[in-house]
Amino acid sequence: MLVVIAPIIGGLASIVFVRILGFRKFTGGEIVLGAVVFIVSLIVQQPIQQLPILARTLPAILSNPAMAQTIIREFLKSLDLYTLVLIALWFGFIAGLVQTGFKYIFARNKKYSDALNIGLGFGVAEAFYVAIAGFILLATGLTGASGAPLHAHALSAIERFSASLFHVGSILLLIHAIKQDRRYMGFAIVVAVHGTIDTLASLTQLTGNPTLLALTEILALVAGLTMTLKLYRKAIEEPEEKPLW
């Protein structure tokens, strides 16, 4: 069951981390909003990402729907490295644009502390999504879902921690850019960093290259830590709003 537990541990560790940093203003409403933003992003993002693959495989899938996964898998195996890189770039930057876009839409008028909570909600929801996917693989007995070495589960937890922290830091950067009247620059920076990380992650999945995996993990952790540590004090030091009554 570590395939299910490890991602959840990684996601929840991000909450513990910001608590250790001194953040105390946890708000359930914004954390739930963050989860909603993740779900909306996922619903919009995934069909768009699949367009290049479906454009080439849809006729074969329609003629044999039961073999859809096998058809897609064999199609990807037939591609050269150049095409795989293009697909990974599409996957990565669609994810960056869609997720950053919805973060901006839902959080653009929020305080720093609210934005931090939304980032936590987004990251933890994504961790639970990965855990559910792992559970489905485990329940269906698909190869790779069980019997993985302990260090692979540890990497999964670290990956979710890094990703959750990235969502915290990226949304803080968006809010900071908005407050500094540099929203377009902030948006572009977040999309560029997010797109690069997700491109590497997608290329890792497509090629199975362990070097790319290590590079992706390191870049995600460094980006998440850098943005969060740079701006988390804005959320801590933000003055409390006085009630109207």
| Cα distance between residue 21 and residue 220, in whole Å | 19
Which residue is it, tokens 């850019």?
A: 177
Q: Once rounded to an integer, what is the mean pLDDT over residues 166-171? A: 96
Tell me which of 6-20, 70-84, 124-138, 140-154 is least confident. Answer: 140-154
| Cα distance between residue 124 and residue 26, in whole Å | 14
Which one has a higher pLDDT value, 154 or 89? 89
Closest CA to 86 of 57, 51, 61: 51
153 Cβ contact partners less than 8 Å away, ≥ 6 residues apart: 2, 3, 5, 6
pLDDT of residue 244 exceeding 50, the answer is no
- Please enumerate, as own/partner, the contacts of 154-158 that have beta carbons within 8 Å and a separation of 24 or more: 154/6, 155/213, 155/217, 156/3, 156/6, 156/7, 156/10, 156/130, 157/6, 157/7, 157/9, 157/10, 157/13, 158/10, 158/217, 158/221
**pLDDT at residue 164, as a whole number:** 96
Question: In sequence order, what DSSP letters do the residues of 51-111 get, joined into one string?
Answer: HHHHHHHHHHHHH-GGGHHHHHHHHHHTS-HHHHHHHHHHHHHHHHHHHHHHHHHHHTT--
Contact present, 186 and 173 (Cβ < 8 Å): yes
| Cα distance between residue 34 and residue 190, in whole Å | 17
Q: Residue 66 is which amino acid? A: A
SS3 242: coil
pLDDT per position as a tens digit, 110-157:
999 999 999 999 999 999 999 998 888 777 765 555 566 777 888 889
Contact present, 114 and 106 (Cβ < 8 Å): no
Length reported for the chain? 245
pLDDT of residue 158 exceeding 80, the answer is yes
> DSSP code of 180?
T
**pLDDT at residue 243, as a whole number:** 47
